[in-house]
Chain A
């Protein structure tokens, strides 16, 4: 990435911290400084970080609810239509559209679609998969999945100022600060 031939431009500041305490303090400072386009990268979910970053609750639950309802409805309509309406048969003398025998499959389909909702909903909200992100341009960022903690503040942020932001991060006792660049295409 030090190849002079390619034109680069800065995208974000990446600040490294050594432990959870440090990162959570830093996060609070960045939050209080009123930044919006910034993020925290931790090897594991750091507890209390949502509040420190001033994030609200996840919307995932609603997605799952919708999927679950779809599942149960699908089960009921499918079974009723197939066994009760489209091709009714006398099975063991029972009514073709008997309800009790539908219950297990109603449950299974509810769970199945809810699970899909949970997983793929999460991917959607997180915009995954996303294999290219400026943070990956920093070599030290590899440690974010090991035992280091990072804060990234984007140039895009309207409060971003190369100097002020750096000072902010320094004052938060970042053990290392880097202005990450990306290639201009």
Chain B
């Protein structure tokens, strides 16, 4: 298809209004970082900082007194700590998915939101990493989990899914960070070139690494971007699969199941998109970027949530079927008694109604395109996905094989502090990001604008040759 023809997956109208051109994009996006922040930003940032303080205090208290400061116990040795970990990791997935998978699938509309989503990924993963770190009994020895030579001449146990996690999550973080930064290079250059402020020039200049838009560079750049996308796609799937191994490889009924990897990935994408749209809606309102993050984008996201939400619902149902079909009394007890009707029934049914029922609203265009509705639903989904992890972890543990060892879990203030605090950490980082870094991939949007690409010859043959350049994708 040629550059200015309508974009198929968006119906008949182009994704951005006609008056949007390259200069407009530069101005619209850059001004956020150049002018004083609106009051809304200060509100978010301030609140986030307070929550971040709570995190500091809670973690300090925890490390000083021991894991006993949390509600964890026997049999529920993991509770909110790992729940939050999985929740955050899941949220992170949308970013990579949008930037890598949609990229490979040539979903041009991603360009307005991928930067944003990638940033969210990185911050979510930072929050996630917090929990495995502080949940161990002796934090100061955590580095023993790394294969470092030591005086005990002992090595980590590579059979442990927890160790796979260490590798998977840190790899995921590193690759996401690189991907993000590579994408930022040309935009840093833009900021560098726009500003007259010496400090900004130096900082953004340094970050831009002397980028000068040379086509000899673009050539390698696009290839690198393509490869990173190709690497991230299996990576993002692997990360949550590995996280799910923590549970799937165990012997605990409710954990010990093969459906977990796909089920976790679907859930991750689901929660990730929910978080992205929450943030997008906020930024859209606060910074007035309605022309670049259009209703089209939001609607597409809602469709994806509808799909993944239903996938998750299918997984819930399938767990019950498998438990019943296996004939294993322990499995059956966990699902048909513990979860559905046990002491934590409320958690289970909160999960189901938030994750399976709520998204069904998006069958209807009226609700799919209503900002208040989608904002509410996106938050509900995030709550629901937190409960999903809580249900999987706590209800499976609190009643496993020997009834004599059954118990209950109830959170302490420190549990709550650590959770609220992680939200603080996330939003602090995020506010800083939208304030100082172009929250939209300018060069990608420009490249995707109508008329951005040569109108005749060259283009077509190039594409057929499958040259696989970024331009080719975007055209």
Contact = CB atoms under 8 A, between A and B. Distances in A.
The answer to A–B direct touch (Cβ < 8 A) is yes
Interface in A125-172: 125-126, 128-133, 135-136, 141-147, 150
A47 B471 contact: yes
Contacts of B206: 131
B458 A48 contact: yes
A43 B234 CA distance: 31
Contacts of A107: 234, 238
A176 interface: no
A6 B89 CA distance: 57
A55 B216 contact: yes
B470 interface: yes
A42 B21 contact: no
A89 B155 CA distance: 10
B138 interface: no
B11 interface: no
- Chain B interface residue bracket vs A: 35 or more
Contacts of B462: 47-48, 50-51
A47 B468 CA distance: 10
B158 A83 contact: yes
A24 interface: yes
Given A43-B22, A118-B231, A146-B190, A108 B221 contact: no
A45 B231 CA distance: 22
A123 B208 CA distance: 12
Interface string B196-224: 00000000011001111111111111111
A66 interface: no
B171 interface: yes
Interface string B240-274: 00100100000000000000000000000000000
B467 interface: yes
Nearest to A24: B454
B475 interface: yes
Interface string B174-190: 11001101100010011
B193 interface: yes
A2 interface: no
Given A61-B223, A126-B220, A145-B189, A50 B209 contact: no
Nearest to B169: A108
A167 to B, nearest CB: 23
Contact of B147 (A58, A82, A125, A146): A82
Contacts of A33: none
A180 interface: no
B160 to A, nearest CB: 8
Interface string A27-53: 100000000000111111111111111
A177 interface: no
Contacts of A60: 220, 223-224, 227
Interface of B: 3, 21-23, 26, 147, 153-159, 163-164, 167-168, 171, 174-175, 178-179, 181-182, 186, 189-190, 192-194, 205-206, 209-224, 227-228, 231, 234-235, 238, 242, 245, 443-444, 446-447, 451-459, 461-462, 467, 469-472, 474-475
Given A51-B462, A61-B227, 9 more contacts: A19-B451, A45-B218, A50-B467, A61-B223, A119-B181, A122-B220, A125-B220, A145-B193, A150-B213
Interface of A: 19-21, 24, 27, 39-53, 55, 58, 60-61, 64, 78-79, 82-83, 86-87, 89, 91-92, 94, 98, 101-102, 104-105, 107-109, 111-112, 114-116, 118-119, 121-123, 125-126, 128-133, 135-136, 141-147, 150
29 contacts: A21-B454, A40-B214, A41-B212, A41-B214, A43-B446, A45-B218, A45-B470, A46-B447, A46-B454, A48-B459, A48-B462, A49-B215, A50-B219, A50-B462, A53-B216, A61-B223, A78-B147, A83-B155, A91-B159, A104-B167, A104-B168, A109-B171, A111-B235, A111-B238, A115-B175, A119-B182, A122-B224, A130-B209, A141-B193
